[in-house]
Structure 1
Amino acid sequence: MDGILPLWKPKGWTSHDCVMKIRKLYKTKKVGHTGTLDPEVEGVLPICIGQATKIVQFLTETSKVYTAELTLGSATETEDAHGDIIEEVKVSRFPTQQKIENVLKSFQGEITQVPPMYSAVKVAGKKLYEYARANQTVERSSRKIVIHEINFISKNEEANKIKFNVTCSKGTYIRTLCVDIGKELGYPAHMTYLVREKTGTITREHTFDFETIEAACVNGNEQELLLPITEGLTHLDTVQVDEQTKQKVLNGQKLSRTDQIMEARPFKVMHGDKLLAIYQIHPEKKGEIKPIRVFSE
């Protein structure tokens, strides 16, 4: 059984919990998720099953869409509502909507972020949250991320809350974005709400909750919930091959580069609507292409 299960991850579950549950339901060990969601965050979590596990890294690289809420006036050690408050300031004058919109737009484009201490980023072979739990703070390198779009949704002045949506690249910490937006508005801040609305082309409307998935497995309809593997690769270019070349691709052979291949990034190789492999330009022989992943028939 091969394909992408568009799961709506519930609150209180880790992404790993979801993988373990799907392994039992689909009776296979070949299951992987495509981008960690914190336990208290719900939303779109595509689960790759069978041969689809070969594309996890490519689906992880796609942009994500979130709805988020930040609260002005207090900062926490975890940058969200689940950590202890480390700074508190009275919000004497809540920012105007125009001010909020201007600040949000200032984050659009390529920006840098410093990963939060409570994150799974590794420094010297150890995850940052392990240092944090031991009350240690370590030097963290900033990283470049891209905010493709960010828009104001609403504000609640009595509760000091601002809601917005954001389309961003992989590796973006929305918690940190909330803190940085708060700084630009003149107050400490933390994230109080987050939902992932979309991963790549997979939206909330595509997803199934565990209750629906369990019912489908009981009725023998679990295959019908799976999206084709190509749904996770829509951001990659496509090269079509003929029947003769198809066999070479399925055998994992290197091929001569064609005029169809313009960019160095990975691309899909297909025969009609059948996904055969993911190839890239050979790093040492620019006139050749080589397979990264091959999908058996």
Structure 2
Amino acid sequence: MDGILPLWKPRGWTSHDCVMKIRKIFKTKKVGHTGTLDPEVEGVLPICIGQATKIVPYLMDTKKVYIAEVQLGKTTETEDSYGEVVETAEVNSMPSLEQIDKVLQSFLGDTIQIPPMYSAVKVNGKKLYEYARANESVERPKRTIHIYSIDRLMVNEEDHSIKFQVTCSKGTYIRTLCVDIGKKLGFPAHMSFLERIKTGSFDKDGSYTFDDIHQAQEEDKLQKLLQPIVSGLNHLSQIEVDEYIKQKISYGQKLPMPDKIPESNPFLMMHQDELLAIYQLHEKNEHEIKPVRIFKAL
């Protein structure tokens, strides 16, 4: 079987746990996820199966949408509610809605983030959380992330929390965003809730729980849960080719630059709604395009 399974990852499972479970259910080793979610977080986790594993890097490069909650008054070593408290402050009164909205909107566009120590970002071949657990200090790399939209959903005066929805680029740490929001509001803070409701074109409403998957397995309908590979590549432009070019693509050949330069790079080569390959501009020859992924007929 080939396709993308829009999984609703349950709380308490690692992304790797989900991959291992899907491998057993679909009886294949060719399974990969498209963006790690922390064990305590539930949400949309597209799982690529069969030939769909070829597009994992491209699907990871899509926008993500989260519902998050920042709680003011304390920050933790892990920047969420599961770590040890490292700083506290009294929140005698919540910031006004105008203040909150102004701070949230200040994060729109490109933002520099420093990933949390308890994260899987690698420095010198070693994950940051490994340094943290060994009480070793290391300089964390700064990264540029992009916030497309961020909006307040609810403010809870009793527990000093602010729930918001954010659309962001890959590589964004919502835990760190929550801490930074707290700083701008004048308080230590941490992330107290997180749920990913959309990854690329896959959203919560169109995702399947493991209960749904088990039921489909019993009814021998697993294939019906899979979305076509091209559905994970909606953010890439497409070039329609004829039967002659289709044959060349099947052989993995380089091709002349098309008359109309594609808007994205890489881009999809299509023939009558069939995904043939992913191509990109040739770095050394401006008159050619070259294949980076070729798909067998499905």
- Structure 1 and Structure 2 fold alike (TM over 0.5): yes
**How far 1:157 moved relative to its partner?**
1.0
Amino acid at match of 1:293: R
Contact 2:237 2:262 in 1 (8 A): no
Q: Which residue of 1 aligns with 2:121?
A: 121
Question: What SS class does the counterpart of residue 248 from structure 1 fall into?
Answer: helix
Code of the residue aligned with 2:253 in structure 1: it is Q
| Structure 2 partner of 1:99 | 99
Three-state SS of the structure 2 residue aligned to 1:35 is coil
SS in 1 for 2:21: helix
Partner-residue secondary structure (3-state), 2:197? strand
- 1:45 paired to 2:53: no
Question: How many angstroms apart in 2 are the aligned matches of 1:46 and 1:285?
Answer: 35
Per-residue CA distance 1:257-284 (angstroms, 9 max, x = gap): 1122245610000001000000001110
Q: Deviations over 1:58-80 (max 9, x none)?
A: 00000000000011000000000
Identify the residue that residue 274 of structure 1 maps to in structure 2.
274
Amino acid paired to 2:179: V
Range with bigger deviation, 136-145 or 60-69:
136-145
Residue 117 of structure 2 aligns to a residue whose secondary structure is coil
1:127-153 Cα deviation digits (max 9, x unpaired): 000000111221112110000000000
8 A Cα contact 1:117 1:137, kept in partner: no
C-alpha distance after superposition, 1:220-277 (max 9, x if no partner): 1000000110110000000010001101101111001112224561000000100000
Letter of the structure 2 residue corresponding to residue 184 of structure 1: K
Aligned to 1:156: 156
In structure 1, the residue matched to 2:79 is 79
Task: Tell me the distance in 2 between the aligned counterparts of 1:65 and 1:86.
Answer: 29
Shift of 1:20: 0.2
Q: How does 1:158-177 map to 2 (within 5 A)?
A: 158-177=158-177
Alignment CA distance shift 1:66-1:264 (3 Å): closer
- Superposed displacement of residue 218, structure 1: 1.9
Q: Deviations over 1:181-202 (max 9, x none)?
A: 0000000000000000000011
Equivalent pair of 1:264/1:281 in contact (CA under 8 Å) = no
Tell me the equivalent position of 2:283: 283
The amino acid that maps onto 2:295 is F
Q: What is the distance in 1 between the residues matched to 2:263 and 2:81?
A: 43
Q: Deviations over 1:141-175 (max 9, x none)?
A: 21100000000001111111110000000000000
3-state DSSP of counterpart to 2:248: helix
**Aligned equivalents of 1:64, 1:240: Cα separation in 2:** 28
Cα drift, residue 288 of structure 1:
0.5
Distance 2:284 2:219 in 1: 51
C-alpha separation between the residues in 1 aligned to 2:250 and 2:39? Answer: 39
Which residue does 1:226 correspond to in 2?
A: 226
Letter in 2 for 1:126: K
Give the CA RMSD over aligned residues: 0.8
Residue aligning to 2:252? 252
Structure 2 unaligned residues grouped into runs of 5+:
none
1:32 aligns with 2:29: no
Please say if residues 236 and 264 of structure 2, whose CA atoms lie closer than 8 Å, have aligned partners that are also in contact: no
For each residue in 1:96-153, what CA deviation from the matched residue of structure 2 results, as whole angstroms up to 9, or x when unmatched? 1111000000001111000100000001110000000111221112110000000000
CA contact (8 A) 1:239 1:261 kept: no
Distance 1:204 1:30 in 2: 24
In 2, Cα distance between equivalents of 1:132 and 1:210: 33
- Structure 2 Cα separation of the partners of residues 266 and 260 of structure 1: 14
Could you tell me the percent identity over the aligned residues? Answer: 62
Deviation of 1:179 (Å): 0.1
Report if the CA contact (8 A) 1:13-1:39 is conserved: yes
Task: Find the aligned partners of 2:48 and 2:261 in 1 and give their Cα distance.
Answer: 27
SS in 2 for 1:171: coil
Partner of 2:147: 147
Q: Distance in 2 between matches of 1:260 and 1:217?
A: 45
**Residue 18 of structure 1 corresponds to which residue in structure 2?**
18
- Report the more deviating stretch, 40-49 or 262-271: 262-271
Aligned residues: 297
Q: Say whether residues 1:64 and 2:64 are aligned partners.
A: yes
